Amino acid sequence: MGRKNTGNIHYTYIILQNLKRKMSRTILLSVFMFFMVFMIFSLTSILCSMKEGLNNTVKRTGADILLVPKDYFSSVKDALFLGIPSTVYFDSSLADKVAKEAGVATVSSQMFLATIYDSPCCDEAVQMIAYHPESDFLIQPWIAKQLKRSIPDGQIVAGSRLSYKKGDTAIFFGRKFTVAGKLQETGMGYDNSVFLNFNTAEELLKEPVVKNYLAIGDKKEVVSLITVKADKKADIEKLAKALQNKYEKSNVSVETPGRLVESTRSTLKQYAACFIFVGAILTAFTFAALVSIFTITMNERKKEYGIIKSLGGSSLKIVSFTIGEAAAIGIMGSLAGSLLSVLTISLFRNLIVLHLKLPYLRQSFTSLILLTVLCTVLSVLTGMIAAGISAAAIQGKETYALIRENE
């Protein structure tokens, strides 16, 4: 029995048969679509994740103002946002002075110690962060969610990206620590860090390896970061400027969380401009290639189209077949490009995060679906417009001329 003409079913069947019959052409066109979507999807995904990561990092910092050693500004920023191990310290007495300033509601401090990479005294290279549980408003809220209490003396809490589990034993600077718990993902450098209270840190500072390797010497009361929570009525920018003017001679840099990531935001804008340029070039190149290939195809199939017209088929029907093929190719190339992009980003996530210095690289399922839909629409529209332009070349030709032209 012959296949019944059932409108769209018959139309779809003819399109699929045409694609199957010219498999090499179908694959070539799909590859053009694939590379366009793969690059646009990947670049857009990374760009959106960078923007989301920066915004979330600033929100989660929890402090209004941060005081860091001026000479170690980059080290503190990388430790806080990326978890890159660093040892930074300055006189802790500054915290007491800042707490007495007008407009300051709460002050706390942290100390950063970088463990030694590939050394018998340390399991691995991580950022150790000591803090005061009773006054801290950055770390303690995360710790409280896991332990329902503060970190006991002699114990640590591990960040989400570290391999330790609750109850494990970790060795840092020759001392054994019990892992009291593990943080959930924060999207900050905390995910690559371990946490301890200042009582434990002060005991750790007595270790010879700490004094010698980290050049702490006999200093006992040192901190790496002073965090400030401003009074509700205070103007944060004015307060930060006032603190900077007053303590500038102490070689301290006074920053807000937004200013800490300002350089990264600038880099993000540069990436965005490059991504847009690359995306436009790829789309233009793909469009030109599709027009060329579809034009060649239309010329090769003039006799076929002439026969269709002689049997009563309209020019619009012929154009619809060509545009339908382009749409099908766009869908195939787009879905393949989107899927491979997600897999590539997932496999090389850590490398991308490290190279681009991102807090994290993550997108929700909803955003991935939305991006896939947008890329598919772009791909299909590009193919359909290219096919339409190519098909327009035969619209004015007579049926007889189409049948005999290539003979």
Does 242 have pLDDT greater than 60?
Answer: yes
Mean pLDDT, residues 121-137: 85
Q: Among the listed ranges 228-232, 337-341, 347-351, 370-374, which one has the minimum average pLDDT value?
A: 347-351
Distance of CA 256 to the CA centre of its chain: 23
Per-residue pLDDT of 173-196, as tens digits, reads 888 999 998 888 777 778 888 999
How far is residue 295 from each of residues 15, 58, 290, 302, 388, measured CA to CA in Å? 17, 52, 8, 11, 10
Q: What is the pLDDT of residue 155?
A: 93
Question: What confidence tier does 214 reach under pLDDT thresholds 50, 70, 90?
Answer: low
Mean pLDDT, residues 160-178: 89
What token pair was written down for 109? 């401090």
Four-CA torsion 235, 241, 244, 246, nearest 10 degrees: -80
Please report, as a single letter, which amino acid is at residue 4: K
Say which residue the tokens 């937004």 belong to.
258
Does 341 have pLDDT greater than 50?
Answer: yes
Do 328 and 16 form a contact (C-beta atoms < 8 A)?
A: yes
Do 133 and 149 form a contact (C-beta atoms < 8 A)?
A: no
Q: Among the listed ranges 150-164, 215-229, 378-392, which one has the minimum average pLDDT value?
A: 215-229
What token pair was written down for 317? 């029907």
Does 156 have pLDDT greater than 90?
Answer: yes
Distance of CA 112 to the CA centre of its chain: 26
Mean pLDDT, residues 339-361: 78
* Residue 250 φ then ψ, to 5°: -85, 10
Number of alpha carbons in the 13 Å side-chain half-sphere of residue 168: 14
Please report, as a single letter, which amino acid is at residue 37: V
Cβ count within 10 A of residue 167: 9
Please report, as a single letter, which amino acid is at residue 294: F
Q: Measuring CA to CA, which residue among 313, 206, 12 is closest to residue 20?
A: 12
Q: What is the pLDDT of residue 360?
A: 63
Q: Among the listed ranges 122-136, 214-228, 393-407, which one has the minimum average pLDDT value?
A: 393-407
Mean pLDDT, residues 63-82: 79
Question: What confidence tier does 399 reach under pLDDT thresholds 50, 70, 90?
Answer: very low
Say which residue the tokens 């114990």 belong to.
155
Q: What is the mean pLDDT of the chain?
A: 79
Mean pLDDT, residues 67-77: 80
Q: What is the pLDDT of residue 1?
A: 42
Question: What confidence tier does 339 reach under pLDDT thresholds 50, 70, 90?
Answer: very high
Q: Measuring CA to CA, which residue among 314, 335, 333 is closest to residue 383?
A: 333
Per-residue pLDDT of 260-288, as tens digits, reads 667 667 777 887 888 888 888 988 888 88
Helix (H) or strand (E) holding 179: strand 175-182
Does 130 have pLDDT greater than 60?
Answer: yes
What is the C-alpha separation between 306 and 302, in angstroms, rounded? 6
Query: How large a percentage of the chain has pLDDT more than 70?
Result: 79
Mean pLDDT, residues 9-35: 81
Per-residue pLDDT of 38-57, as tens digits, reads 988 988 888 887 777 677 66
pTM above 0.75, yes or no: no
Cβ count within 10 A of residue 27: 14
In sequence order, the β-bridge partners of residue 127 are 114, 193
Tell me the chain's radius of gyration from C-alpha atoms: 31
Q: What is the pLDDT of residue 178?
A: 92
Number of alpha carbons in the 13 Å side-chain half-sphere of residue 352: 16
In sequence order, the β-bridge partners of residue 88 are 112
Name 388's Cβ contacts closer than 8 Å, sequence gap at least 6.
319, 322, 323
